[in-house]
Structure 1
């Protein structure tokens, strides 16, 4: 059932309906408000995005029997307060999108425990652009089922959890935090030569029947020059890490050099220190690199000039120094990509390196100067000969002519 993109208003009544066959119900892009009625839990997929719903407690914490819901999209609503701790009721949930709301507080334990549900094959959790806070719970440690995890634009704090790199072997897209990364096996594969793309089609078998969910196209946000850009359906071709605008500290993990299939890397607007990893040239598939507004120091690795696919680059406002490596790709970028590094020099930066500047106060000879020099030399020679001849004649006259004496 689809009644999307209409002007439906008001609250949905909690009807006493017995829904069978786990239908897809799409009420997105309307003006519906209030609480979500619990009878909708009988759907297989529920699209309620872009409405004005403000409460999900009664919906999620319904005392009815186990629910068949596989997909729940409540993005871009007016949900407020803390997330209810009733997610263990949704034993079949595989996709949940609560982005672009006003949710606050910690991630409840029952939501994190979704990864351990036996019926769940793969899990996508999107909580982007809320006011959620606290430390990232270790109960996600069983997250081998997680394929997409987006916690960006929230207020999480604390140490980066090591279990992300140790356990999330299925992860394709990560947005919101960084940890041990060499185990992101999907990003360690060079896919430049692939001509086919993966289309996500999920199937789940339920008691009393089966439900087939159509492919769900993921949208991804990448920050460039401080502005979030939205890319549609990128999971088919884009392998990216966007950790911009957080409070990340420390050095860039050297293990990132294993991510040779990485297409986009954005670590901008953090507090990273140390040098850019020396083997960044291993990222042969890299098209997008933003390390701006950190405290990175040292020279730009020469291997960066070896990435021939790089189309967007920003290293501005760090503490980099030395000469920008020579390479057609790097010299093609605007000087703004390197500004804010006072000790950086070389093209396309405006500051010239010392070995590129001509010696000061050195007069360069010209053809016109050569001609003038020859003329002056001849003139002085003629004047000298004339003076010598006149002097000899004068002295000789005095010696041999008595009248002159």
Structure 2
């Protein structure tokens, strides 16, 4: 609902009230102990996502024994709520985002109650946790917990420990044979080290695994490839080796992120042949080589393909126009679909590099389409078939050895927000059709061999000169003007100067010819006496004949 105002004091007089649920409203102000003074029968308190503050006296003992308490996004800090110590029947507790900045109290970890659901996420809790007495869902993410990973109950299905400082090995957790029902394991962004243990045989129902942003080393274990999760994230570790062939069995994968490691070998063709449900594939920043396998073109649901910063060579496959999820503009789902429904605000997210920066996409991940092949050793021309991917939001081919003209039909990709073709060997003009790319907010064609006038549009003139530097372009936004034929004035002037130079050299050659001819006649007369006497006698003879001729005529 959209209830606002303060929390009424009269609620504290409802002695028979068992369930109080006013979550997801706009209530604000301070909640007092008197608000609960007569709620002796209260068993369910659901009030998350309001703007309320509750700081009871440290000696306050609640009059109720609740089974469910949800106060997420209240202001309960900075101390851990001591009054929870007296709740003996708790099975579900949510005090996430409540401003607690404290050491996890020992008494809380030793409560006799068996939690089914525990959410302490997004606080500033510290300390070590040796054991979690929770049967179904635990979320301790985004705190400052340290020490080894806690031991957990065999019935646990969802474990979120992301964004903490847990350290040590994965072995005790992963190799626990009683953990047969784990569906979600998120331990990304911690300080875990060592190799991923090869004992995943009993993780039959694992659907979501995120071990990214740790210090894990070694190869991907063979048994991990047999778990068949929907998402697998190992990004930003120190892992190496080729991708194991057992990963062909992970046919449920919709998201595979192995970026920022040291994996090598060629990109396996079986990715396109076997992992047919992939929506996100990121192998960015590894040591993959060889050519892009044409089987990748068979991934009908692929919306995000990132092979950037590898050693991949060869040409860009023309069959990319078969990537139908990138070729459609009809995207109906904001979020990626998941196999399991749980009563928990859990959604798939991915770190994607778009527009030159890395961002996390969660609720809108299903709307994002991206093709990034930048910083490899790709050669040949940009295939015109790329222009068929009209649903792309981001296209990056920069930092390769691509040649030829930019395909004109890229201008038909009207939803493009980011286009980067910089640092290649492209020539010709920027296609006039680029003037139709009205949603561009990141554009770079610098350091190519492009010539001519920059097409006129609202977007192309809004970028800085750095987007065009290292070419022979002219027109706004550059200060370099164009001639009427679309040639930069400095090139035209250089041409005129060249022609002027040719005229000057003509004059020089005439003068040199005259000098050489003059001295070829005069020099012998000057230095050879017999030639000089004969020359003057000849002149005297000619002079006499002319004199006689003019005398007769006169």
Identify the match of residue 31 of structure 1 among 155, 165, 168.
165
Q: Deviations over 1:83-132 (max 9, x none)?
A: 222224414x11110001111111111124312xxxx3x42110111111
TM-score of the aligned structures, taking structure 1 as reference length? 0.76
TM-score of the aligned structures, taking structure 2 as reference length? 0.56
Identify the match of residue 354 of structure 1 among 483, 494, 499.
483
User: SS of 1:250's equivalent?
Assistant: coil
2:424 aligned with 1:294: yes
Cα separation, 2, equivalents of 1:65 and 1:270: 44
CA apart distance, 1:354: 3.0
Identify the match of residue 258 of structure 2 among 127, 130, 137.
127
Instruction: Report the counterpart of residue 69 of structure 1 in structure 2.
Output: 206
More moved, 24-33 vs 142-151 = 24-33
Cα separation, 1, equivalents of 2:431 and 2:204: 54
Cα separation, 1, equivalents of 2:254 and 2:194: 23
User: SS of 2:276's equivalent?
Assistant: helix
Q: Contact conserved, 2:226 with 2:250, CA < 8 A, in 1? A: no
Cα separation, 1, equivalents of 2:327 and 2:305: 14
Q: Contact conserved, 2:181 with 2:203, CA < 8 A, in 1? A: no
Superposed, 1:5-404 pairs within 5 Å as 5-12=142-149, 19-20=154-155, 23-36=157-170, 37=173, 38-39=175-176, 42-58=181-197, 60-62=198-200, 65=202, 67-91=204-228, 93-115=229-251, 120=252, 122-140=253-271, 141-165=273-297, 167-176=298-307, 179=317, 180-191=319-330, 197-204=333-340, 214-222=346-354, 224=356, 228-233=357-362, 234-341=364-471, 343-355=472-484
Q: How many residues align?
A: 337
User: SS of 1:170's equivalent?
Assistant: coil
User: SS of 2:407's equivalent?
Assistant: coil
CA apart distance, 1:274: 1.3
Cα separation, 2, equivalents of 1:146 and 1:53: 27
- CA separation of 1:223/1:54 partners in 2, compared to 1, >3 Å: closer, same or farther? farther
User: SS of 1:103's equivalent?
Assistant: strand
What 5-or-longer segments of structure 1 have no aligned partner? 361-405
CA apart distance, 1:213: 9.4
User: SS of 2:358's equivalent?
Assistant: strand
Structure with more relative contact order (C-alpha pairs < 8 Å, separation 6 or more): 1
Cα separation, 1, equivalents of 2:412 and 2:288: 31
Cα separation, 2, equivalents of 1:269 and 1:99: 22
What 5-or-longer segments of structure 2 have no aligned partner? 1-137, 309-315, 494-554
User: SS of 1:49's equivalent?
Assistant: coil
Cα separation, 2, equivalents of 1:333 and 1:189: 28
Q: Deviations over 1:2-55 (max 9, x none)?
A: 22234433334777x5x23x6111122222223212235641100101112223
Q: Contact conserved, 1:113 with 1:139, CA < 8 A, in 2? A: no
